[in-house]
Amino acid sequence: MEAGTKTNPTIIAIFGGTGDLTWRKLIPALYNLYLDNWLNLKFSIICMGRQDMTNAAFVKRLKEGVDQFSRRGKSKAKEWELFSKMIEYKKGEFDNTSLYSYLKKQVAAFEKESDCDVNKIFYMAVPPQFFELIATKIGDAGLAADKEFARLVIEKPFGTDLQSARKLNASMLHIFDESQLYRIDHYLGKETVQNILAFRFANALFEPIWNRNYIDHIQITVAEKIGIETRGNYYEINGALRDMIQNHLLQLLCLIAMEPPVSFDADEVRNRKVDVLRALRKIKKEDVHNFAVRGQYAEGWVDGKKVNGYRQEADVSPESHTETFAAIKFFIDNWRWSNVPFYLRTGKRMNESISVITIQFKPAPHQTFPDEATENWQPNRMVLNLQPDMGIRIRFQAKKPGLQMQLNPVDMLFNYSDTYTSGTPEGYETLLLDVIEGDATLFMRADQVEAAWEILMPILSTWQANPSVNFPNYAAGSHGPETAEGLIAKDGNNWIVMPFEKKTHE
């Protein structure tokens, strides 16, 4: 297809234009889509914010963001100049009707000039307290009326509990159709996360063993070395459960556990995912301590640097009970997964930054080899490395070279960086292109969001009602709290993190 014609003419209005997300993620992603010729030559980006700024000053700041955060590195003068012509900065208050009248005028002019179907994308890169206000104003201005081409993108957090998520869904659905709503979970845009679907459903090899007959348990770890940085205000009311588990980790679990969809149709894929959330066993309030543990980091050392404890971070209460670490054991009550534990954990200020899914298989049913041969023996294991290393590792037993029969675990490795030389698009590139193309497969539907809140409610309310007595309970730069080891150890398991680089055996 010719450059500049792969997608419809699009006008995208970003609320929160001067914010961090626009600067670090959205503009670099749009710029890369532009460089890859995905954007129609008729493309207009209106960034709205409350600051007084000239267009030139705004564009200059965006360029600094692109130079710093684009996967391609520094922008090239000519390309940036052409791209930046599409950008306009508009100062305005989100509650001011005149801002929306202005948008309406711009949209009408863009439609007239394009003379064909035009995408009208409204992106809420703003704190959640503005979601309802902005959506209502868009609706009042008549900008939501085009059910096919007007779309609203909503960043997380989508509610703070089941009740608030339901309320938010209801008010959005009063203005927009579900098909117009794109609730972002940026994990779903990650290359390695999308590859879970390819790995499971484009290969005949794995699906027959992807069940309780062969799999002992599954672990999902998303660990981060960073603390909460400057997000104290946000983090204090959210914590690890709301910030990471409700969305990213439960979505990963859905992709690993879902039934094969019949097609790649958005609703078919999302139906299969929501089936998983509905089959998750509800944890009773009185059992929460057996299934979930929480942690909060104390001061410690990360990469040789002394770092603050959570309670010493900016905008955090010195007595805060907010968790910066959470680990939960789930069961999925269906035929495929009956009694297979799924262990999820996530934490800030851990000893390493790694997102990884480990599928631990059961031992071979019969031990053929003598004890001397099996000293190093391990049941099979499959590791999906999501980041920072991207790849898949399958661990199996092999005969160690030598005159005797001795078994050793060895690895088969698929490594993105060895296999592909083309650059990997950022999650936001994938997701923004999907919004432009009207493909909602990788976005959260209302029922998914609510089902995820529903499953976490007993834990949230139990933790809220019973502030932890031992916070802080792990040092920054450590593996997390001892209790997380206990959660998995009582089932005879332990958290597995295998280094990704190739391992050679003696």
Using CB under 6 A, list all residues that contact ligand BG6: 224, 243
* Closest residue by Cα to residue 239 from 175, 171, 310: 310
Shortest gap between Cβ of 434 and ligand BG6 (angstroms)? 17
Nearer to ligand BG6, 12 or 184 (CB): 184
Shortest gap between Cβ of 174 and ligand BG6 (angstroms)? 27
> In sequence order, which residues have a C-beta less than 8 Å from that of residue 283 and are 6 or more positions away?
291, 292, 328, 455, 458, 459
Shortest gap between Cβ of 329 and ligand BG6 (angstroms)? 22
> What whole-number distance in Å separates Cα of residue 291 and Cα of residue 444?
26
Contact 43, 10 (CB under 8 A): yes
Shortest gap between Cβ of 76 and ligand BG6 (angstroms)? 26
Dihedral of CA atoms 446, 452, 454, 456 in degrees, nearest 10, equals -150
Which tokens is 347 given? 């934490």
Shortest gap between Cβ of 292 and ligand BG6 (angstroms)? 19
Which tokens is 216 given? 């002992």
> What whole-number distance in Å separates Cα of residue 338 and Cα of residue 231?
39
Contact 260, 201 (CB under 8 A): yes
Nearer to ligand BG6, 144 or 196 (CB): 196
| Pairing relationship of beta strands 391-399 and 381-387 according to DSSP bridges | antiparallel
Identify the H or E element spanning 121. strand 119-124
Nearer to ligand BG6, 332 or 444 (CB): 444
> In sequence order, which residues have a C-beta less than 8 Å from that of residue 412 and are 6 or more positions away?
393, 394, 396
Nearer to ligand BG6, 247 or 358 (CB): 247
Which residue is catalytic, options 186, 217, 248, 479? 248
Nearer to ligand BG6, 157 or 458 (CB): 157
| Pairing relationship of beta strands 354-361 and 215-223 according to DSSP bridges | antiparallel
The 3-class SS string of 154-166 reads ECCCCCCCHHHHH
Residue nearest ligand BG6 (C-beta atom)? 243
* Closest residue by Cα to residue 56 from 14, 87, 33, 23: 87
Shortest gap between Cβ of 243 and ligand BG6 (angstroms)? 5
In the residue annotation, 248 being an active-site residue is answered as: yes
- What are the residue numbers of the active site? 248
